[in-house]
Amino acid sequence: MLESRKTILVALTFLTVGLIVGSLINEVLTYQRQSLPYDLQKQLLRFRFINQSTNETLFSYKVIGVQRGTYQTEKVFETYVIGYEDRYGGASADLDYLDLIIEIKRCVGEERFTIRIVQLGLDAIEVYLDGRYMGVVRPSLEFEVRY
C-alpha cells in the first residue's frame, strides 16, 4: 500500500513538472511568435522618434500584442502593438517599454498600413517619416490618486 502511494506521488510530481515545463516552453514560443514581420520591421526603419527633453532617438521596442481578425468585408487584418522606452538612462528610466505605444494596422496583402501613436510618458516625442517631420506626440494626462 505504501509503495503504491509512493508510485502515485512520483507520477503526480512528474506530471506537475511536465505541465510547468510545457507551460514555460509555450510562453517562450508565443513570445517569439509575437514579433513584427520582416516587411514591417523594414518599414519601422523609415521612422525616427526623438525625445524632445533628452534629444535621444528611440531605437529599441518590444512587441506588446498581436491581433488578427476579419472585417465584415472578409478582408483579414493584422494589428501589432509595440512599445518604446522614452528614456534609456537616468533616474526616471524604468525600462518597461510602455512609454511610447504604437499601433500598426494593415490588411493582409496590401502594401500600406495605418499607424497610431500615444505617449504615456511625460516627454514629448517628435515623429519623422523618411526624414519628414510628421508631428509631435504629447504626453498623456497623468496624476496621482491617493487612497
Reported as a single tens digit per residue, the pLDDT across 112-142 is 999 999 998 889 999 999 999 999 999 888 7
The contacts of residue 69 (CB under 8 Å, 6+ apart) are: 76, 77, 79
| Angstrom distance (rounded) from CA 83 to CA 53 | 19
Q: Rounded to 5 degrees, what angle do the CA atoms 108, 111, 114 make?
A: 80
Instruction: Count the helix, strand and coil residues of the chain and give each as a percent rounded to the nearest 5.
Output: 25, 35, 40
25: its cell numbers:
516552453
Better-predicted residue by pLDDT, 27 or 51: 51
pLDDT of residue 116: 96
- Give 81-114 pLDDT, tens digit per residue: 999 998 877 656 777 888 899 999 999 989 999 9
**Percent of residues, the chain, with pLDDT higher than 70:** 77
pLDDT of residue 107: 93
73: its cell numbers:
468585408
Report pTM.
Answer: 0.72
| Boundaries of every domain in the chain | 1-33, 36-137
